[in-house]
Amino acid sequence: MTEIVMARGQSLSLGPNMGALASPAGTRWRDVYDGTAYPRAGYLTGLQRADGQAIASVANPLLLGYDRTVPAAAIAPMAVLTSLPVGAVIAAGLIRDGLAQETLFQFHDAGGQSIENLDSDPATGSNGTTLYDNAEYWLAEAVRLLRAAGREPVVRRIHLNQGEADVAWPAGRWAAAAGLALDQMTEQVLRLTGQAAAPRLFLEQTGGYMMNTNINRHRCKLDQLALLRQRSGILTTPLYPYKVDNADGKGVHKTAEAHLELCETILWAIAETAAGRDWNILPPLSAARAGDSIIIPMTMPPGETLTQEPAGKYAAYGGDPAHLGLEALGGGSIVSVALSGQSITLAVSGPVTALRYAMQETATDYRMLTDAAKQGYTAHRGMLRSDRTRAVTTGGLELTLKRWLPSFEVAVA
């Protein structure tokens, strides 16, 4: 069985241009994760972009699309050149961690793309159906070559890392558009592979930008939680805690180290769910107020408890958020925050209609509050996570993976 990795989304799924960078172990990062290290992590050779350019790595064809008159020639060890896509790390990591014997991957999308550009309707979005067609053609070719070699394909998950293009949308729009796109992705997988079981949704919650959060309200974050509930999906991690490399001035792309931390956390989520264990950390739909006390009971795996990140995470980048990242809406205020088990207890004053976490609406431009390397954090900030962590070493880089609470907003009854 060959596991095909479908990792969809925009630039944060495509990953930073870090392939040629040296890891702490001295090897290039592309050699840590590509077919050099894991020959059974594959990609298709022989394909061409619509402009006639040969596709020589997993990070193409982007918006140029495939020349669909040129068939794939063979399956070869996965080639990573510059960008290191999330899907490439997953494809290699599944083999490394004993979760798959053989994998196959190609990135089908492009940076800056709305969720509406991932569906098959030319009337939605701004780039026609190129990205849907990329996945259609590549997956058909992958299945053809696998079956010709006597190997059976399977797509166990659809990974989705998208939302930054849609942060200005009103509540509900992203959920509707993503639901349509996911329905079509699922139909595509079932039709082309012939597998009986639908792939499960694994989603990274949008982290937001370093600026303009007072204008762009990021309601897609709440839509993402709603979609996960509807689809029984897995929230691998929110993106807000991961450091941003603002060298390009865009205030959203992750540092190379943060990108690897994100990818390794996704692999951790895959391993846990494959073993039949719970993973999601989700807020309730509402919270009750008794006097001046409000309790938010979080849904978490058994045995995990809430904790707060030590003070100072954001100290050099504009400061830690007040009240651990929680805010009161409706005119009242938060007096104090306490954690107990899997619940958050807030003492409040005045009228409170809702509580919000890691969704600050601020005019502060945190691009102006970076370090000498132009690194910092987004405007959405939180300090709450599970007490469960995991130590990982990759390419000589030592990482401590953490399970953060997602951004959320809950009504107060």
What CATH number has the domain bearing residue 13? 3.40.50.1110
- 280 falls within a domain: no
Please indicate, yes or no, whether residues 255 and 303 belong to a single structural domain of this protein.
no
Please indicate, yes or no, whether residues 259 and 301 belong to a single structural domain of this protein.
no
Phi, psi of 329 (to 5 degrees): -110, 150
At 279-300, the pLDDT tens digits run 999 999 999 999 999 999 999 9
Count Cα atoms within 13 angstroms, Cβ side, for 375.
12
What torsion do the CA atoms of 245, 248, 252, 254 make, to the nearest 10 degrees? -30
How wide is the angle at C-alpha 189 spanned by C-alphas 225 and 79, nearest 5°? Answer: 95
Please indicate, yes or no, whether residues 199 and 99 belong to a single structural domain of this protein.
yes
Burial 225-238 (b: 16+ CB within 10 A, else e): bbbbeebebbbbbb
Q: Taking the CB of residue 129, how many other CB atoms lie within 10 A of it?
A: 19
Please indicate, yes or no, whether residues 44 and 118 belong to a single structural domain of this protein.
yes
d(CA 11, CA 209): 13
Residue type, 298: M
**79 touches 91 (CB < 8 A):** no
- Give me the number of domains the chain comprises: 2
**50 touches 66 (CB < 8 A):** yes
Please indicate, yes or no, whether residues 84 and 162 belong to a single structural domain of this protein.
yes
d(CA 404, CA 406): 6
- 279 falls within a domain: no
Nearest partner of 251 among 357, 169, 167, judged by Cα: 167
Furthest CA-CA distance within the chain? 69
Please indicate, yes or no, whether residues 219 and 303 belong to a single structural domain of this protein.
no
Please indicate, yes or no, whether residues 127 and 215 belong to a single structural domain of this protein.
yes
In three-state secondary structure terms, 397 is: strand
Please indicate, yes or no, whether residues 302 and 358 belong to a single structural domain of this protein.
yes
CA 106 to chain centre: 17
Residue-by-residue pLDDT tens, the chain, 413 positions: 999 999 999 999 999 999 999 999 999 999 999 999 999 999 999 999 999 999 999 999 999 999 999 999 999 999 999 999 999 999 999 999 999 999 999 999 999 999 999 999 999 999 899 999 999 999 999 999 999 999 999 999 999 999 999 999 999 999 999 999 999 999 999 999 999 999 999 999 999 999 999 999 999 999 999 999 999 999 999 999 999 999 999 999 999 999 999 999 999 999 999 999 999 999 999 999 999 999 999 999 999 999 999 999 999 999 999 999 999 999 999 999 999 999 999 999 999 999 999 999 999 999 999 999 999 999 999 999 999 999 999 999 999 999 999 999 999 99
Predicted model pTM? 0.98
Under DSSP, the state recorded for 154 is E
Please indicate, yes or no, whether residues 80 and 207 belong to a single structural domain of this protein.
yes
- 187 falls within a domain: yes
- 395 falls within a domain: yes
- 8 falls within a domain: yes
Nearest partner of 279 among 208, 221, 201, judged by Cα: 201
- Residue ending a domain, among 243, 274, 305, is 274
Q: Quote the pLDDT of residue 127.
A: 87
- Residue ending a domain, among 274, 298, 320, is 274
- 103 falls within a domain: yes
Please indicate, yes or no, whether residues 270 and 291 belong to a single structural domain of this protein.
no
Please indicate, yes or no, whether residues 217 and 244 belong to a single structural domain of this protein.
yes
Bridge-based pairing of strands 200-205 and 157-161 is parallel
**61 touches 134 (CB < 8 A):** yes
**328 touches 352 (CB < 8 A):** yes
Owner of token pair 């003070």: 311
Owning domain of residue 374: 286-412
- 150 falls within a domain: yes
**384 touches 240 (CB < 8 A):** no
d(CA 214, CA 383): 21
Please indicate, yes or no, whether residues 184 and 305 belong to a single structural domain of this protein.
no
